[in-house]
Amino acid sequence: MKENETDGYKSAFKATALFGGVQVFTILVKLVKSKIIALIMGATGFGVLSLYVTLSELLSYTTNLGLQSSAVRDYSVANASGDLTELSQKKTAIRRWIAVTSVMGAIITFLFAQNLSIWMFDSPNYKNGIRILSIVVFLMGVYNGQYAYLQGIRKIKDLAKANVIGAVASLLFSLPFYFILKEDGIIWSLVITAVITTIVSTYYCSRYPQKRIAQNYKQSFNIGINTVKLGIAMSLGTLSGTFVAFIIRSIVVRYGGIEDVGLYQAGCTINVSYLGLVFTAIAKDYFPRLSAMKDLEHMKKTANEQAEIAILLLAPMIIMMIVFLKPIIVVLFTEEFCVVLPMIELMLLGSLVKAGSWDLSYILLAKGNSKLFLFSELGVYIVIIPIYYFLYLKLGLLGLGYAYFLHQTISFLWVGLTAQYAYNIHYSKEFWKLFTVFLSVIALFIFLRPKLGLIGYALDVFVLVVILWYTYIEFSKRVNILDFFKRKSHGQK
137-165 pLDDT tens trace: 999 999 988 988 888 887 877 887 888 88
For 208, phi then psi, to 5°, come to -125, 75
Mean pLDDT of 84-106: 88
CA-CA distances (angstroms) from residue 112 to 59, 101, 126, 170? 11, 17, 12, 27
Is the pLDDT at 136 greater than 60? The verdict is: yes
Per-position DSSP letters for 147-181, written without gaps between them = HHHHHHTT-HHHHHHHHHHHHHHHHHHHHHHHHHH
DSSP H stretches of helix in 64-123? 67-81, 84-111, 113-121
- How many domains in the chain? 1
pLDDT in tens, 459-471: 888 888 999 999 9
Residue 83 domain boundaries: 3-489
Interhelix angle for 397-423 vs 258-268, to 10°?
50
**pTM, to two decimals:** 0.73
**Nearest Cα to Cα of residue 191 among 247, 128, 117, 98:** 128
DSSP H stretches of helix in 256-366? 258-268, 275-291, 296-323, 325-332, 341-366
Is the pLDDT at 103 greater than 60? The verdict is: yes
pLDDT in tens, 391-437: 999 999 999 999 999 999 999 999 999 888 888 888 999 999 999 99
pLDDT in tens, 235-270: 777 777 778 888 898 889 888 888 888 889 888 888
146 near 205, Cβ under 8 Å?
Answer: yes
Per-position DSSP letters for 418-436, written without gaps between them = HHHHHH-----HHHHHHHH
Cβ neighbors of 202 (< 8 A, separation 6 or more) are 142, 143, 146
Cα 45 to Cα 31: distance, rounded to the nearest angstrom = 15
Q: What is the pLDDT of residue 482?
A: 61
